[in-house]
Copies of this chain bind each other. A is one copy, B any other.
Amino acid sequence: MTQEQLTQAIHDKSSFLCIGLDVDLDKIPVHLLEQEDPIFAFNKAIIDATHHLAVAYKPNTAFYESYGTKGWQALEKTIDYLNVNHPEIFTIADAKRGDIGNTSTRYAKAFFDHMGFNALTIAPYMGRDSVEPFLAFEDKFVILLALTSNPGAFDFQVSDTEQNLFEQVLQTAQTYTNHERLMFVVGATKTEYLSRVRAIASESFLLVPGVGAQGGSLDEVCAHALNDQVGLLINSSRGIIYASRGEDFAQAAAAEAQKLQEQMKAILAKRWG
């Protein structure tokens, strides 16, 4: 998928919502546990109920890996289901990978070729040759961690020096080959920095976690970071997928997704009429 197609999908659905599929067997409805593959059954129901409200889904690989081979199979089935039934959906493997060149190529093959994700989150610590192997894949995207939504972001990403590490990452990434296929993770809990992000990465899409459960404000994020291509994917995970543990879990998820989508529709209408 290209960036233009993603922007088009956002306008078509009046939504820039990304739904995080962080499936925890301790939190899903008990009646699903009897199914052969409860993780996939849960994801399928959530996707069926919300796909008209979201432009992207983002499984976090940690949740799948913690269930071993079975979890990995559920992840493969989930991405297959999305690719076959909803090819217009932008799919993100939230894997936070990154390694030396030949190893990054392996990860790229795993997530782009083997599973067919559109994008992968990457940690920037190892620099250029840990990122560029992913950017070599046509119409695939790297979403580089810039400023994360957790408290530990202040350990290294933000400092009292002239240039914060997250700004250095944004700046250096502009020099990477195929950098137009780079997006960045910027937490909604740090809106005071969003203008500084946009000063460096004006054209890039930002994946923004932290709206809802973690306390970030959608309006504030949009005020600072919308660009001409919309340029935002707002992620919500727990607030949507765990809205109910009853038989009605999928409808409850859809209701929560719709609340966000309606706010997004209003924001888009204000700017694009």
Task: Identify the A interface with B (CB < 8 A).
Answer: 22, 60, 62-63, 65-69, 72-73, 76, 94, 96-101, 103-104, 106-107, 109-111, 114-115, 123-131, 145, 148-157, 161, 165, 168-169, 172
Contacts and interface: CB of A to CB of B under 8 A. Distances in A.
B62 A124 contact: no
Contact of A145 (B63, B111, B126, B148): B126
Contact of A65 (B110, B148, B165): B110
Contact of A152 (B114, B115, B130, B161): B130
B63 A106 contact: yes
B110 A68 contact: yes
A164 to B, nearest CB: 12
A125 to B, nearest CB: 5
25 contacts: A60-B106, A62-B104, A62-B110, A65-B106, A65-B111, A66-B106, A66-B107, A69-B72, A72-B72, A94-B99, A96-B98, A96-B99, A100-B148, A100-B150, A123-B123, A125-B157, A127-B150, A127-B152, A127-B153, A127-B154, A127-B155, A127-B157, A129-B151, A129-B152, A130-B150
